[in-house]
Every structure is written in structure tokens, then in C-alpha cells.
Amino acid sequence: MESVRIPGTELVPSRVGLGTWAIGGWKWGGTDDANAVRTIHAALDRGITLIDTAPVYGFGHSEEIVGRAIAEYGQRDKMVLATKTALEWQEGSDGVVRNASAARIEKEINDSLRRLRTETIDLYQIHWPDPRVPMEETANAMRRLYRDGKIRAIGVSNFTSEQCEAFREVAPLHSVQPPLNLFERDAERDIIPYAQREGLVFLAYGALCRGLLTGKMHADSTFTGDDLRQSDPKFRAPRFTQYLAAVEALTQYARERHDKPVLALAVRWVLDAHPNAIALWGARRPDQVTPLDDIDGWTLEASDLRDIDTLIDEHVTDPVGPEFMAPPARGG
């Protein structure tokens, strides 16, 4: 498994990380804890060393599962454990709002340490910027945690470059985490070039575009319960047809050009088009990490990247981003 050093730290995580939103169950139709633990173990067995989670993933449940899995697996010192802060919810409610206040951050760090069964969080990230809290307050709270050794590196998620600059006036910053995949590339306009200029690692979440890029979805695929894809415009007519056609074309290209599945092509694109990237791979069953074996040992050339862009442009004529996932500010 390829790895990358997070500048300014001693952390050297794998370039593919395990994303655990689905493992938490919320917005993914529930979870099976024992299966989730086996999934984490399977990912670690295949060389993944970075696990990315958040309190809001299942309202603490994802962190609890990750903590249990790591305790059972051992080798904590070889892992890079990443989690987040600055969202809040009311117990028994699906309502999630932004809260990057110092009080919220100081409460969440202790809750996360307890659930994750660890003394230190390797990478602690502001989940979403909060327009109702001064950036200085948020950054100061993170700086104190860093100074006190509760966290080993500071990251932000869903920030613009301007917000990063304001944050860095007060506290160090080591990583950013934007959404990025073959179909969602807004981050390439601002935050990714910024990260490259400033020497920051970026964690690309949604690398498989909520399952679209696995190649396993069809026109009759349905989503039930609280599955977030029910509200994702990509999974509704008429766009769903366009995206499925693009996946079919990419599947054929991956098979004929590289003898690889489209899923591997999607992850390799994140890694090869962006040399400072870590691709987050979401899974909640052990079989869903088996395709990791197809990622290593090959690369996409510049000509491949151009061909891929052409195929997507031919089929997706009405693209849409991941804006539907953004939580509101308090009172919004």
C-alpha cells in the first residue's frame, strides 16, 4: 500500500484510507456491528493504516465500532486515527447543525477519546466551518488540544482556501478534507490547488461517489429508509441515467485499457491526478474491501486522465455536486 507523510508531523498514513460513515449506520440504512468490526480488520489486513470517522456518523456509533475494532486488532501505534468535531445534534433527532464553538470542541474531544479507546487522536478535523462562530475561537480551541497533546495533527473539512487562511493565522493546519471523485470535482477549483501550494495533504472523501463508481448500480436500483442517496440528485431521474451511462463507459475503458474494474480506476484517478491525496474508501462489509487488491501496482498516465474526462463529458450533460449533504448553521 502506498503511503504519504503528513507534512509537519511524524504521521505516514496509507494513501487509501477507510471511511466509516456507512459503518455508523445513520443515512445508510443501519449497521451490523460485528460485520463492521470484521470490515475494519479486513481493511487493516490489506495495508490500510488510516481510519477516518466522526461523532456524527451514527451519533457516536461509528467511533464506538472503530474503537472496538482497534482494541481487538491491536497495533494502535501503526495506525493513523482521524476523527472530526464541530457538528452537534439532539439525542433522538436526525437534525444536525454546525457548532464550532470552543465549548463544543472541548466536549467532543473527550467523548471521541472515550469512544475510540485511545489517549490521542492522530488527526482531528473541523467537520464543517461554522459561520456563527469566529474562526479565531475555533482555531484557538484546536491549537490548545494540539499543544496539550490530545491530538497530533489538525485538519479541516469542507473549508475554502480563504477559511483555511483565516484558521492558519491562529493555529497550525496539516490537512484538508474535501469531497472529490470522478463526478464531483469542485474541489479542484480552489481547495486542492491551495493544498498543493501550501504543502497540505488532502483526504478526498466520497471517492466512489456513494457507490456509483463501484459499477454495481443499475437503472432499477432503489434506496430505502434513511439512505442519503434518496436525496442525492445523481440518483434521481434524469441524471441517474446519465451517470450510469458514464459508469458503463468507464467500466469498458478500465477493462480494455488496464484489465481493471471501474472501482479501481476511480480510486487510481484520485491518487494519480492528485499526488498529495489520500482516497477515502467507504465500506461496511468485508467483501467491500477485497477490491483494494486491484489498486496497487499500476498507474494512470496523462493520456488516461484526458480520455476519462472525455468519456464523462460525453455522458454527463447535467452534472451536479454534493451540495445536498451540507448541514445548516444553527438557526438556519
Q: Which residues are catalytic?
A: 57
Alpha helices in 28-91 (DSSP H): 33-45, 61-73
Which amino acid makes up residue 74?
G
User: Which residue from 243, 206, 250, 205 is spatially nearest to 221, judged by alpha carbons?
Assistant: 243
Cell numbers 480488520 correspond to: 41
CB 140 within 8 A of CB 171: yes
- DSSP for 112-139? HHHHHT-S-BSEEEESS--TTS-HHHHH
Q: Which H, E and C letters describe 209-228, residue by residue?
A: CCCHHHCCCCCCCCCCCCCH
Local structure of 108: helix, strand or coil: helix
How far is the C-alpha of 42 from the C-alpha of 29, rounded, in Å?
A: 22
Q: Which H, E and C letters describe 149-176, residue by residue?
A: CCECCEEEECCCHHHHHHHHCCCCCCEE
User: Which residue from 133, 166, 11, 132 is spatially nearest to 81, judged by alpha carbons?
Assistant: 11
CB 184 within 8 A of CB 191: no
How far is the C-alpha of 118 from the C-alpha of 215, rounded, in Å?
A: 37
- Gap between the terminal Cα atoms of the chain: 43
Q: Give exposure, 203-232, as e/b (b: 16+ Cβ within 10 Å).
A: bbbbbbbbbbbbbebeeeeebeeebbbeeb
